[in-house]
Amino acid sequence: MSKVQADAFLSDPPAAVLAAHAILVAGDETYLVDKALAALLERVLTAPGADQFDLEKRDAAELTAADLESVVSTMPFVNDRRVVVIKNVPELTAETRERVKELLESEPRGLCLIGTGGSSMRGNLYQIWEKHGARIVCELPKKSPKSKTADFDFARWLTGRANQDFGKTLDKDAAAALAELAGELQPLYAELEKVAMYVGDAERITLADVEEVCTGGAIGTVWEWCDAVGARNTDRALELLKQLLDAGESAYRLVPLLATHFCRLGIVVALPSKDPNAIMAALPGRTWYGMARSLAEQARNHTPESVARAMDLLAEADLMLKSTSHGEEFVLHRHLLEILEHAA
- Confidence category of residue 224, pLDDT binned at 50, 70, 90: confident
Nearest alpha carbon to residue 121 among 150, 92, 142, 151: 92
Residue 63 identity: L
The count of structural domains within the chain is 3
Q: Are residues 257 and 197 in the same domain?
A: no
Give me the pLDDT at residue 1, please.
Answer: 61
pLDDT, one tens digit per residue, over 47-56 is 888 888 989 9
Is 145 a domain residue?
A: no
Residues 110 and 9 in one domain: yes
Q: What is the pLDDT of residue 111?
A: 92
Question: Does residue 235 form part of some domain?
Answer: yes
pTM greater than 0.75: no
For residues 16 and 129, membership in a common domain is answered with yes
Collect all residues with Cβ–Cβ distance below 8 Å to 269 and sequence separation of at least 6.
299, 302, 303, 304, 307
pLDDT of residue 136: 92
pLDDT in tens, 146-178: 656 667 888 889 998 899 888 999 999 889 888
- In-domain check, residue 292: yes
SS3 93: coil
Closest CA to 8 of 35, 41, 45, 48: 35
Report how far residue 264's alpha carbon sits from residue 241's, in angstroms, rounded to the nearest whole number: 20
Helix axis angle, 94-106 to 65-73, nearest 10°: 30
Residue 191 lies in a domain: yes
The rounded distance, in Å, linking the Cα atoms of 129 and 26 is 12
pLDDT digits (tens, 9 = 90+) for 115-132: 998 766 666 788 888 888
Co-location of 104 and 6 in the same domain:
yes
Same domain, 89 and 181: no
For residue 117, is it within any domain? yes
Give the CATH number, domain containing residue 57.
Answer: 3.40.50.300
Cβ-in-10-Å burial (0-12, 13-18, 19+) of 200 comes to exposed
Domain that holds residue 162: 154-213
Alpha-carbon gap, residue 82 to 101, rounded angstroms: 18
Average pLDDT over residues 240-264: 85
Same domain, residue pair 311 and 257:
yes
Asked if residue 250 belongs to a domain, the reply is yes
159 lies in the same domain as 234: no
Determine the Cα–Cα distance for residues 313 and 169; give it in Å rounded to an integer.
37
Flag whether 142 is in a domain. Answer: no
**Would you say residue 37 has pLDDT above 80?**
yes
The answer to the question of residue 149 being in a domain is: no
Instruction: State how far the alpha carbon of 127 is from the alpha carbons of 27, 105, 122, 201, in Å.
Output: 15, 11, 8, 49
